[in-house]
Structure formats: structure tokens, C-alpha cells
Amino acid sequence: MSIEISNIQFGYYEDGKNTIDGANAVFAREKVTVLTGKSGCGKSTLLYLAAGIYPSNAGFLRGGSVRVEGEDPAAMTPPVRCRKVGMMFQNPDLQFCMDTVRNELIFTAENIAVDPAEIPARLEAALAFAEIEYLENRRLNTLSGGEKQKVMLACLYLLDPAWMLLDEAFANVDDASAKQILGKLLQLHEDKGTGLLVVDHRLEHWWDIADEICLMEDGKIAKTICPREEGAKASLQAAGVQVGRDPYPGIVSLRTGILEEGTACMPDTDVPALTLSHLSVSHEKGHPVLTDINATFYQGGIYAIVGQSGCGKSSLFGALSGLYKYEGGALLGGAGSTGSGQVEIRRMKRADFGRLGFVTQSPQDQFLGGTVRQEVMAAFKKEPDAEARSEQILRHIGLWKYRDVSPYLLSQGQQRRLGVAALMAYPCEVLVCDEPTYAQDRENTIAIMESLCRGAAQRGATMLFSTHDRQLAEDYADKIYTLEGGTLHE
Amino acid sequence: MSNINPSCKLVGLIVLSFALAFCHHPVLNLGIFAVCVLLILFSDANKKAFFIPMIPVVILAVGLFFTGYRFTNAASDVVNMEVLHVGSSQIWNGLIFASRALVYAGIGLMFALTTDRIRMVRSFHKQLHVPQVFAYGLLAAWGLLPQMMLEYKRTRMAFRARGIRVLPFSPSLLVTLIVKSTRWSEELSIAMESKGFAAQSQRTMFEPEHVKAGDWIFLAVTCVILPVIAVLFFR
């Protein structure tokens, strides 16, 4: 009744180094186990090996073995394997292949050859378990991240696997939905004895529940900690793992530091940089996601926007970055601002494009292709010192040795650093960041927030960012706005 | 129309299209086009999705009408008022051209707008024996389309934010899209596999698509009766 991993040697490239290098572990079904560690330590890779997804889909297993309940998951056919291990993935958008919730559940039941006469009852039970009966006939592409994960939970309930493996499943889910899903998973664990093996770099959801926390470092399981042990928290924090709502260094100390260097501009609360008045956005006619947004963001200020998933954060940021059409006003610049006058965002001309910078949830969305160096140079490639300047920037963010590599081949953290650096090469007045720290570990989160805030402070730019992490909002923003019911509240 | 088995509908309409290719009679073409329009209008299909694609089709039909009208005579004739003189054979020839555009658009749109894609895939798998990996792969790819559209816009905005102007369908936009689509399809296939889907395995089928009496009648009309009428009366 366990998942056994013995002396695994696994790498993604034939001649590259091993991502998992001699990992050994036994995960018992009666325990809730969390695998944690910094980005790139190999925790997701280990989970995919345990789920039998690797090496058949990617990479090379050079040694060792994986056994789920005594059998090799990679040797099982998918219909057999999914009764042993069910997966919940990080990206809720790429888990479904049908159009509606009902059809997806039917597809899942058909895969494991459920008798058609039994399907309606099984479907009803799965929807009731996940408490999503009201979503049955909704189209999957209209659901929020939290709702999609609840649908995935219903699918897993229908498959009824011996183990459930979660790969950062709450990265794109608001706290309320995460708590609800977590409660349901625990219910399965207690009632049916379903094993839970979880990968997460943030332990706040798991701290009270986990029986074991395995800390991974450099492709190995460095230590196994019981959260109830004395000093458990401290030893994890020392390894750079975010245990609960640990405070971040924050904007205050950062601003003081930059001020001492003499390069910062303090926020100026008299000069508006971005004014939103009666802004509304609808994706479907007659169903506005945002109804009446009114707010003024002042020059040099840092603002956080928080809210439940599905509240319209991405719609607001999408409207500001030109992705969605909006009604009402979004005025860039203000009387006395440093920019070249006021302009309505939807009427921006080419000369104004650089005034509004944006950082997307996935750094890949920003890449223009080519190489790492071209990515940074895109801003100033016609200037005479372009080569030298790009070298300076890349050395500063530690990516100089990857200068001729495609940005898509970098790790998540490196991609994020490159994205921010490329953007900082522009003299933007307002910086709009949609979940800039999405799925990043604590170390990367701090590095990203610092580079964004530093960049903004040095040029006196206004910064707006959205986040699911309340602590991050409290520590880095001058003012926090909550998006609820289609409007923005302070 | 949406109750007809999708495989029967496809086979019937393909056979009918072939039969029409050998007939040059505007009355037949326009008659079938009118039937298609009526079937679409009286179905629960999205009417806007019918009228918008019809705009370029009508323009094309008008263009073809005048081409047929003008080139009834030898191609080397000079265009003058005499050539533009209204003659019934010229109008007839123009109508043959124009009605063809309309009838093929009508048949195509009727299939597209009155067929549920999930039912279509289930039916292709059961009746036409299309391998399930293709059938469900097609559905999954369809689900990716809205995301690809959004991604395309997002990439354009990323270029715009850097002050770089790109033309629609410029290679640099498409390269980014291809890289992402490849990654998405990989992730999606892993997710499908983890839900127990496999190319070779035995699946059950909830609400399988059957060929009913109405479908046989549809096939008889489109594959036998209409082609015979066309050949006998409209050649």
C-alpha cells in the first residue's frame, strides 16, 4: 500500500545531467505526503514519474525503479493506470478535451469502461461530491480556475484511484476554493483510504494536514520532516520554503535602500498616472464581468488588486493591456505627469505604446522569440551601444551564459527574470502586472517583486499588480484594492 | 436536421454534392439551396453564424453570375454595349455559375451548423470506424482554438507594448504560437491519458449514435432520389 521510489536516475536530455539523481522514498497511503523545495529541484518530475507519465512522454530513466502498489506505473495501460494514480495538474486550462462539464465526465467514465447504464448515477454522484451540480451543463472554457479544479476533482472521484497526485493544483485557485477542494480530498483520504501525494512550494494549505513533508534538493530527497515536530517550521524556512503567511522583506525597506542610493522617486499622490472611470468589460453580450470600475492610481505608487478567482482580475488587466475591449474611461497620464500628456488607452498611437508596460501571468506570453539576447535588445537594437547594454543587463540577471539560447528553454524562474528585465529596458510610466509571481517559489517571488518594484521606483513609474497571495499584497503595495461584484473597493 | 446521424448526414451530402457537379441546372441548384436555408432557419442553429458567412458567398455568386453572363460568347470578344445586350442564354449561363456557389455553400453550412461536434465524433468512431485517437484528438484540438485565438492577440499586444509593429500573420507571431501550441497539445495528451484515455483500449459508449429509420430515408433521398431526379430531368 505505497509508492516506492528506489535510486531513480532521470534526465530530460539524452546527454544532459540528471534532474532526479538517486532519489529514494517510500510514500505510505495512510499518510498525507507533501513534496516541497525550490523551483527546479525536481519535485514535479518525481511526481510525474510516480504517475507513470514519465518516461513514456518525456525524458530518459537511466536507473532505479518506481512501484505503485507493487507495480510499475509506466508499464500499465492508461485505463489501468488511472485506477491506481489520478493526477490534478497545475494548469487547469489544459486538462479537458470535451466542451461541457457533463461531456467531460461522460468521457472519463467511458475511458474506464463504466457500464453505460450506470453512467448517469456515477455522474450525479461525482457532481454532488464536488458540489458542482450547478455547473453540469456549463462550457468548460467559461469556468474560472477554481471551478475547473473542482471539475477535475469530480473526474477524479469518478475514476476512484488508489492514489491522488497533485502538482501545484492550487496555484491558480483562490483560497476559498482551495479550502473546499482540500476538504474533499481529505474526506476521500479518510473514508476511502485514497493516498495523497502532493507537490507544492507553498505549504500554507498543507501545514495542518500533512503527515510528512519531504524536502527536495538537487534531485534528491534531502530530508523528511514531520510538521508536528519541534523546529520543523524553522528548518523548512531555512531551506527557503514558504511555510505559512511568512512576511516578505517588503517595499518599505526596498524603497529606503533605493533612496539611500539616491536613485528613487517617492510616490507623488497629487499626480494621477492612470484614471479609470466607469470602466466595464463584457466577454459575452449582456453579461459584464466588470460593471463599474472607478479608481485613480498616482505616480510612483504601487497598488495590489486582490479578489476571488473568477472575479475579473485578468479581465481588468486584459482590458488595460489592450487584449479586451472596454467601455468607459481608462486615461493614461494626468496633469503634471512625466509622460507626454493624457491619452485614452484604447486610442493609443504607436508613439504611446511603450508608456504602458505589462507583465503577463506566464512569462512566455511576452517573448518575441529568437534568443535571450534579442529579447532584451528588442527595445534598443537600433542604438549604438545596444550590444554593450544588453550584455550589462544579462550579466546583472545572471543569464549571460544563456544569451544565444531560445528563451523558451530557460527554467520558469529564469524566464520570469528575463521577462522583467526585457520590460525594464522601456521607459514605461505605468506597469501592469497580472499575477507576476504565479507558481514561483519564495526566493523567486521576492526576486521578481524586488526587481519590479526597484524598476518602478527608479523611474517613478506606477505599478499595479494582481495576486492570490494576500501577504504579498500587504507587504509590497501602498494600497490594496479588492475586486468584487464587478467593482473595485479599497 | 440536427437529429440526423452525423455520419449519414456527411455521406449523404457528399454524394449529393458529387451528383450536383454533373448537372448544370440553376433551378435544381437554387431549389436545393432554398431547402438548405429553410432547414437551417427552422433548426436551433445560430442564425448569425449562417448569415455572416453568406455575405462573401453572395458577393462571389454575383461575381460568378456576371462572369457566366459575360463569357457566354467566345473569350476573345471585345466588351461593348452589344455584348452586354440581355440575352436569355447569357442569364441562364450566369445563373448556372452563381447557383453553384450558393448550393455548395448552403450544403456546407447546413452540415456545419446543424451538427453537434461531440455527436459527430462519436458517430464517426462508431459508424465510419475512425480510430478513437483521431476522433478525440480532434475534439481536444477544437477545445484549444479559443485559447489559440487569445494567445495570438496576447502575443500581438506583447509586440505592441515594446513598440514593435507586426502585421497580422507575420512569421514572428506565428512562431510563438506554434511553440505554444506544441506545448499545449503535449500537456493535453498527458491529461487525457491520466483520465484513462488510450488509443487502443476498449471504451464503453454512453448514448451511442445509431442509424435510425429517418437516417435511412435521408440517405435514400440524398444518394438515390435526388441524383436520379437530377440526371433524368435537369441534365
Domain stops at, among A238, A273, A295: A238
Please report, for residues A241, A298, A317, A474, B222, the alpha-carbon distance to residue A295 in angstroms, rounded to integers and kept in the order given.
Answer: 36, 10, 14, 19, 62
- Chain B residues with CB under 8 Å of A97 CB are 136, 139-140, 143, 188, 191-192, 197
The answer on A346 and A482 residing in a single domain is yes
Domain stops at, among A238, A267, A285: A238
Helices (H), A27-77: 43-50
Q: Is A411 within 8 Å of A39 (Cβ atoms)?
A: yes
- Chain A residues with CB under 8 Å of B160 CB are 322, 353
Would you say residue B190 lies in a domain?
yes
Instruction: Specify the pLDDT at position A335.
Output: 59
- Chain B residues with CB under 8 Å of A85 CB are 194
A89–B187 CB contact, under 8 Å: yes
Q: Is B47 within 8 Å of B41 (Cβ atoms)?
A: yes
Would you say residue B39 lies in a domain?
yes
Instruction: Give me the amino acid identity at A359.
Output: V
The answer on A226 and A257 residing in a single domain is no
- Chain B residues with CB under 8 Å of A362 CB are none
The answer on A307 and A221 residing in a single domain is no
The answer on A306 and A232 residing in a single domain is no
Q: CB-based contact (8 Å) between B204 and chain A? A: yes
Within chain B, which residues score under 70 in pLDDT?
72-87, 163, 235
Provide the domain count of chain A.
2
A35-58 tens-digit pLDDT: 988 777 888 889 999 998 888 888
Split at pLDDT 50, 70, 90, the class of A186 is very high
B143–A99 CB contact, under 8 Å: yes
A353–B163 CB contact, under 8 Å: yes
Q: From the candidates A47, A76, A94, A423, which should be mutated to test the interface with B, based on the most B CB atoms within 10 A?
A: A94
Q: CB-based contact (8 Å) between B129 and chain A? A: no
Please report, for residues A81, A285, B102, B124, the alpha-carbon distance to residue B129 in angstroms, rounded to integers and kept in the order given.
Answer: 26, 40, 32, 6
| CATH code: domain of residue A328 | 3.40.50.300
Instruction: Specify the pLDDT at position B216.
Output: 94
Can you tell me the distance from the alpha carbon of A80 to that of B197, in angstroms, rounded to the nearest whole number? Answer: 10
The beta-carbon neighbor of A79 closest among B140, B158, B201 is: B201
Cell of A284: 459575452
Side-chain half-sphere of A237: how many Cα atoms within 13 Å? 12
Q: Is A274 within 8 Å of A479 (Cβ atoms)?
A: no
The answer on A291 and A218 residing in a single domain is no
More confident residue, B97 or A252: B97
The distance of Cα B205 from the centroid of its chain, to the nearest Å, equals 27
The answer on B83 and B11 residing in a single domain is yes
The answer on B73 and B157 residing in a single domain is no
Instruction: Specify the pLDDT at position B68.
Output: 85
Query: Which of A194, A187, A207, A145 is CA-nearest to residue A439?
Result: A145
SS3 A32: strand
- Chain B residues with CB under 8 Å of A353 CB are 160-163
Instruction: Specify the pLDDT at position A110.
Output: 92
B158–A354 CB contact, under 8 Å: no
B113-166 tens-digit pLDDT: 999 888 898 899 889 999 988 888 888 888 888 888 888 888 887 777 776 777
Would you say residue B127 lies in a domain?
no
A360–B158 CB contact, under 8 Å: yes
- Strand segments (E) across A110-257: 163-167, 195-199, 212-217, 220-225
The answer on A230 and A256 residing in a single domain is no
The answer on B149 and B83 residing in a single domain is no
Can you tell me the distance from the alpha carbon of B49 to that of B109, in angstroms, rounded to the nearest whole number? Answer: 9
CA dihedral B38, B40, B42, B48 (to 10 degrees): -120
B194–A106 CB contact, under 8 Å: no
A97–B205 CB contact, under 8 Å: no
The answer on A139 and A47 residing in a single domain is yes
SS3 A34: strand
Backbone φ and ψ of A199, nearest 5°: -110, 125
B158–A368 CB contact, under 8 Å: yes
Q: Is A23 within 8 Å of A214 (Cβ atoms)?
A: no
Query: Which of A396, A465, A472 is CA-nearest to residue A430?
Result: A465
Would you say residue B203 lies in a domain?
no
Q: CB-based contact (8 Å) between B207 and chain A? A: yes
Backbone φ and ψ of A62, nearest 5°: -95, -15
The answer on B146 and B86 residing in a single domain is no
Instruction: Specify the pLDDT at position B105.
Output: 95
Average pLDDT over residues A444-448: 80
All residues at 6 or more sequence positions from A85 whose CB lies less than 8 Å from its CB, including other chains: A50, A51, A52, A68, A73, A161, A162, A163, A164, A165, B194
A358–B161 CB contact, under 8 Å: yes
Is the backbone of residue A98 left (phi > 0), alpha (psi -120 to 50) or beta?
A: beta
Strand A2-11, strand A60-68: pairing:
antiparallel
The answer on A27 and A165 residing in a single domain is yes
DSSP single-letter state for residue B223:
I
Would you say residue A350 lies in a domain?
yes
Instruction: Give me the amino acid identity at A8.
Output: I
The residue range of the domain holding B227 is 6-122+208-233
Span of A144-153, A258-267, B63-72 with lowest mean pLDDT: A258-267
Q: CB-based contact (8 Å) between B162 and chain A? A: yes
The answer on B97 and B63 residing in a single domain is yes
For residue B153, the distance in angstroms to the closest alpha carbon of chain A comes to 6
The answer on B62 and B41 residing in a single domain is yes
Instruction: Specify the pLDDT at position A262.
Output: 58
The answer on A254 and A133 residing in a single domain is no
Q: CB-based contact (8 Å) between A427 and chain B? A: no
Please report, for residues A20, A206, A232, A235, A247, the alpha-carbon distance to residue A227 in angstroms, rounded to integers and kept in the order given.
Answer: 25, 10, 6, 10, 20
Instruction: List own/partner pairs for A373-382 with CB under 8 A and 24 or more apart.
Output: A373/A403, A373/A404, A375/A407, A375/A418, A375/A422, A376/A418, A376/A421, A376/A422, A376/A425, A378/A422, A378/B162, A378/B164, A379/A422, A379/A425, A379/A426, A379/B162, A379/B163, A380/A425
Instruction: Report the chain B residue with the minimal C-alpha distance to residue A112.
Output: B196
Q: CB-based contact (8 Å) between A45 and chain B? A: no
The answer on A140 and A7 residing in a single domain is yes
Would you say residue B108 lies in a domain?
yes
For residue B204, the distance in angstroms to the closest alpha carbon of chain A comes to 5
The answer on B110 and B47 residing in a single domain is yes
B162–A159 CB contact, under 8 Å: no
Would you say residue A245 lies in a domain?
no
The distance of Cα B28 from the centroid of its chain, to the nearest Å, equals 20
Cell numbers 526596498 label which residue? A254
Q: Which residues pair with A464 in a beta bridge?
A: A303, A432
Average pLDDT over residues A457-481: 84
Side-chain half-sphere of A65: how many Cα atoms within 13 Å? 8
Would you say residue A243 lies in a domain?
no
Instruction: Specify the pLDDT at position B140.
Output: 86
SS3 A455: helix
Side-chain half-sphere of A482: how many Cα atoms within 13 Å? 8
Strand A163-167, strand A195-199: pairing:
parallel
The answer on A94 and A39 residing in a single domain is yes
Split at pLDDT 50, 70, 90, the class of A488 is confident
The answer on B159 and B81 residing in a single domain is no
Cell numbers 520558469 label which residue? A412
The answer on B220 and B179 residing in a single domain is no
B158–A366 CB contact, under 8 Å: yes
B204–A110 CB contact, under 8 Å: yes
Would you say residue A430 lies in a domain?
yes
For residue B38, the distance in angstroms to the closest alpha carbon of chain A comes to 27
A400-434 tens-digit pLDDT: 888 888 887 777 777 877 887 777 777 778 888 88
- Chain A residues with CB under 8 Å of B177 CB are none
All residues at 6 or more sequence positions from A74 whose CB lies less than 8 Å from its CB, including other chains: A52, A54, A55, A56, A61, A66
B162–A53 CB contact, under 8 Å: no
- Chain A residues with CB under 8 Å of B134 CB are none
Domain stops at, among A238, A265, A280: A238
The answer on B112 and B221 residing in a single domain is yes
The beta-carbon neighbor of A97 closest among B140, B196, B207 is: B140
The answer on B109 and B225 residing in a single domain is yes
Instruction: Specify the pLDDT at position B24.
Output: 82
The residue range of the domain holding A415 is 250-489
Provide the domain count of chain B.
2
The answer on A161 and A271 residing in a single domain is no
The answer on B148 and B43 residing in a single domain is no
Split at pLDDT 50, 70, 90, the class of A339 is low
Examine the pLDDT at A321 and tell me if it is beyond 90.
no
Would you say residue A244 lies in a domain?
no
Would you say residue A107 lies in a domain?
yes
Q: CB-based contact (8 Å) between A141 and chain B? A: yes
B163–A87 CB contact, under 8 Å: no
Question: Mean pLDDT across chain A, nearest whole number?
Answer: 83
Split at pLDDT 50, 70, 90, the class of A266 is low
Can you tell me the distance from the alpha carbon of B40 to that of B54, in angstroms, rounded to the nearest whole number? Answer: 12
Can you tell me the distance from the alpha carbon of B181 to that of A482, in angstroms, rounded to the nearest whole number? Answer: 34
Is the backbone of residue B70 left (phi > 0), alpha (psi -120 to 50) or beta?
A: alpha
More confident residue, A327 or A310: A327
The beta-carbon neighbor of B204 closest among A116, A323, A354 is: A116
A354–B163 CB contact, under 8 Å: yes
Q: CB-based contact (8 Å) between B231 and chain A? A: no
